[in-house]
Amino acid sequence: MSEVREQVREHYREVAIDVRDGGDGCCDSGCCGGPTNSGGWGAELYQAAERAELPDAAVLASLGCGNPTAVAELREGETVLDLGSGGGIDVLLSARRVGSTGHAYGLDMTDEMLDLARRNATDAGAENVEFLKGYIEDVPLPDASVDVIISNCVINLSADKLAVFQEMRRVLKPGGRIGISDIVASDDLSPAARAERGSLVGCIAGALSFDECRSGLEGAGFGEIEIEPTHDVADGMHAAIVRARRL
């Protein structure tokens, strides 16, 4: 798992440095969706009004496959956790939705991304946010401390997705929910076939199938599971919205 983790960390470290130094957040090794962030990836998946409210660096560092804040149905006063928060775009949008009585956490393992996200939060004047260093397989928050978990094309990057699902259940309050954007593979694609369609850091090779995602969530203690494909990102590979509730 450590080799996979370091590959991902180094890739997104390069992205953060590029944005910090005035670049566009793309890199030769291929971000989610490829170097151009085209075809249903990145900042284009957010409404123009949402992008206009945020620092440019938060928008440029958006490398996801969806807009989880649009599907999580966030409410005033809730506590939200974003797994793999990157430059902070989803944390900042969540903070606006939960208001001054709510709180938004962002979790990331890359120092350079955390530095970028904290700078973006300062530039946005967001006071109800906190960025934490850690791993999505080992979240540094207490049991039953979060109302909602969001994530944007990050769980597919983990080498231990069952641990991620278990941690999500642990930190969620009873009845808490997830609203996640991620890549899901057609059930007929083997892991080898998925790897042929894209790289790990490109958010393709590590994707679960629909059945694997559902069974993993059920095994971790989730119910009311919905996995809704939104658009294709490669042959047999789909961006999807994943919703579930902690039992």
Tokens for 150, please give them: 């969001």
Q: What is the pLDDT of residues 93-143, one digit of tens each?
A: 999 999 999 999 999 999 999 999 999 999 999 999 999 999 999 999 999
Place of tokens 């199938």: 209
Higher pLDDT, 8 or 217: 217
Summarised one tens digit per residue, pLDDT across range 216-238 is: 999 999 999 999 999 998 999 99
Give the pLDDT confidence of 180-196 residue by residue, as tens digits: 999 999 999 999 999 88
Task: Report the percentage of the chain scoring pLDDT > 90.
Answer: 62
Distance CA 34, CA 48 (A): 22
pTM score of the predicted model: 0.87
Structural element, H or E, at residue 202: none
Cα distances (angstroms) measured from residue 91 to each of 20, 139, 207: 18, 16, 23
The better pLDDT of the pair 54, 187 is held by 187
pLDDT at 44 over 50: yes
Question: Using one digit for the tens of pLDDT, what is the confidence trace for 145-157?
Answer: 999 999 998 999 9
pLDDT at 183: 93
The neighbouring-strand residues paired with 86 are none
Range name among 48-52, 85-89, 120-124 with the lowest pLDDT average: 48-52
The structure tokens listed for 47 are 């409404």
Return the biggest CA–CA distance within the chain: 47
pLDDT confidence of 28, banded at 50, 70, 90? very low
- 211: number of Cβ within 10 Å: 13
What tens digit of pLDDT does each residue of 151-180 get?
A: 998 999 999 999 999 999 999 999 999 999
Q: Specify the pLDDT at position 198.
A: 79
Given this model, what pLDDT does residue 21 score?
A: 78
What pLDDT shows up at residue 209?
96
pLDDT at 24: 56
pLDDT at position 33, please?
45
Which residue segments constitute the domains of the chain, with CATH numbers given?
A: 2-246 (3.40.50.150)
pLDDT value at residue 174: 97
Question: What is the per-residue pLDDT for 195?
Answer: 87
The CA distance from 240 to 78, in Å, is 24
